Chains A and B, each alone.
Chain A
């Protein structure tokens, strides 16, 4: 009976040790998955072309660095180019906030060489070892794991690598603690001990002059383990149970927070080894040799202890996983905020580009047109100097008057253009389009728009309100109506139709008339340019369409036109 009880108790020990080891590998798998997912975040960003993080792209990077500053589990964040040179080195300063540091060349480091072999979407996890700076182990000892992923620019050109050093001290602790009896070891592929409950040091083989209470165990090969094959057995009276970490298992595996990496490559495999020493086994078996009651009492106490330890371990695991998930969610939120900011910056850049082009075209024409009268004056003054005949002088003087008139007219155009662009009334409001057109219609003399032969037609079924600058839109509608009236075809009943529509989710307004039209093929590139006219017999300055385009583009709208001589003109505005 005793032998049967002893055998049953040993089976229980086997099962307990196996179960504890497996659970701890799940925890480690969760951590590795999280670190890989975290790295994927940085690889999924579209970096600027010829990315220069400390130079002209500092503005792009700064918001990301601001986010990183508060992430305590990052020890270093680096961008490394294809030659192994660090373009950016952002590291924690003795446990305080992260800050920029002197770049180093890392071309000979294994994680850089392996990182450069990665394909898009793949992540590489290094061995866990003590952090080194310039070849020297950093003090106090700091176990780190480096996670590496390739980064690309917006043209999908590979720029280099992102390398993150994660602090592993707090992650390694729960793997080897929370167990009342027996020892736990975390080992890599060649059975080298990374951390153990028997030592206060992580990576003991890297610690100088390591003196360990457990006979200086650096590797576990002497206890009968040969490789990382899952096993549980007895050696020298102790139960040994080894279980390899499997990255395809763990609760984070199906997380929807980040894109799954295409593959996670690791420099090594990891395994958790449990040791239940002979002494502990004897202690566990001793009650069998005592009376039945004592045996059961001891078993209950032992099981309670195990259950308590296991419960505490589970709680810690859940707490850590919870914290990691919170940090993930925080990163996702920051990412969407950054994307929003990027979008706004791009939009502002586009507006500034358009405004610059407008101003450039305007200043070119104005300087050109102002220079013409000046050069004419130069020629006239030369002629006046040489002119001896009073009649000749008298014919030249009126030309100077004409030049003065022209300069005055140009100055007036500049003043008008600047007054429109400088208006502060660009606050955006919801506008009832029909009401606005009716109001503008009132600006024209009755004879112009109330004529039975000229109709304003509304076809605003798709939409009839929009958010825009009321002042700008009033000027735009005024110009369209003025053109439709000025270039009406007197041979037919004239009309102008305002028709609303949607295109790819944007509001579109068509302004169509049946006026004189113009030679579209000949003038299509110049329609919206300043001082362009298309009808010789009808007066005009050639400013209206230029201003329409300027005002629309300054608020992200666009305008295009088609026209047929004798049939009419149709403008298309996309808001």
Chain B
């Protein structure tokens, strides 16, 4: 069974470290990639498409990031969707509980869910189960 491919995109390196560590504790059958801004993460997805590599099944995407923020990532991701051969489930992960952000998130069909930090182990299990059922 191939590993489930998880992509973490956040400019907070401690968050990346902690979430990666939590995921590793949940399952050994996960391939985890991390990027500190939306621009680099998009480059990675573009590479996956161009080289025929497996796309991430789950992306945990931060909103506020330098270079390209979560909203900018989602807009440009939309342009790549037609070239994708497998579904990609994007969860917007943010510290913001602002209603305006939640409303804006509803404008993006690309989003599977909206998660408020901190991201607990239970929440990660819930996401993995929702996407992969018990195949992880």
Contacts and interface: CB of A to CB of B under 8 A. Distances in A.
Interface in A350-407: 364-365, 368-369, 371-373, 375-376, 378-380, 382-383, 399, 402-403, 406
Nearest to B117: A375
Contact of B18 (A399, A406, A522, A531): A399
A413 B53 CA distance: 42
B106 to A, nearest CB: 19
Contact of B15 (A372, A533, A542): A372
Most buried by B among A372, A380, A382, A526: A372
A365 B12 CA distance: 14
B21 interface: yes
Contacts of B22: 379, 383
Interface string B3-18: 0000000001111011
A368 B21 contact: no
Contacts of B68: 522
A536 interface: yes
Interface stretch (B44-52, B78-86, B93-101, B125-133): B93-101
Contacts of A379: 18, 22, 118-120
Given A526-B69, A536-B67, A372 B95 contact: yes
A378 B14 contact: no
Contacts of B113: none
Contacts of A365: 64
B87 interface: no
A372 B12 contact: yes
Report the interface size class on chain B.
20 to 34
A45 to B, nearest CB: 37
Interface string B40-76: 0000000000000000000000001011110010000
User: Interface SS of chain A: helix, strand, loop or mixed?
Assistant: helix
Given A383-B18, A399-B17, A522-B72, A368 B64 contact: yes
Main secondary structure of the interface of B (DSSP, over half): loop
A376 B66 contact: no
Given A531-B64, A533-B66, A536-B67, A372 B117 contact: yes
Contact of B95 (A375, A531, A534): A375
Given A531-B66, A534-B67, A542-B66, A383 B14 contact: no
B67 A371 contact: no
A364 B96 contact: yes
A380 B98 CA distance: 25
A383 B95 contact: no
A536 B67 CA distance: 8
Nearest to A518: B67
Contacts of A382: 120
Given A368-B96, A383-B21, A399 B14 contact: yes
A368 B72 contact: no
Nearest to A371: B95
A532 interface: yes
Interface in B18-46: 18, 21-22, 39
Contact of B67 (A364, A369, A533): A533
Nearest to B22: A379
B96 A376 contact: no
Nearest to A541: B66
B118 A375 contact: yes
B17 to A, nearest CB: 7
Contact of A376 (B67, B94, B118): B118
A244 B98 CA distance: 73
Given A522-B72, A534-B67, A402 B14 contact: yes
Contacts of B15: 372, 375-376
Contacts of A406: 14
A368 B69 contact: no
Interface of B: 12-15, 17-18, 21-22, 39, 64, 66-69, 72, 94-96, 98, 117-120
- Nearest 3 interchain pairs by C-beta: A375-B118, A371-B95, A533-B66
26 contacts: A364-B98, A365-B64, A368-B95, A368-B96, A371-B95, A371-B117, A372-B12, A372-B15, A372-B117, A373-B14, A376-B14, A376-B15, A376-B18, A382-B120, A383-B22, A399-B14, A399-B17, A403-B14, A406-B14, A522-B68, A526-B69, A526-B72, A532-B69, A533-B67, A536-B39, A542-B66
Given A373-B14, A380-B18, A533-B67, 5 more contacts: A372-B12, A375-B95, A402-B13, A402-B14, A403-B14
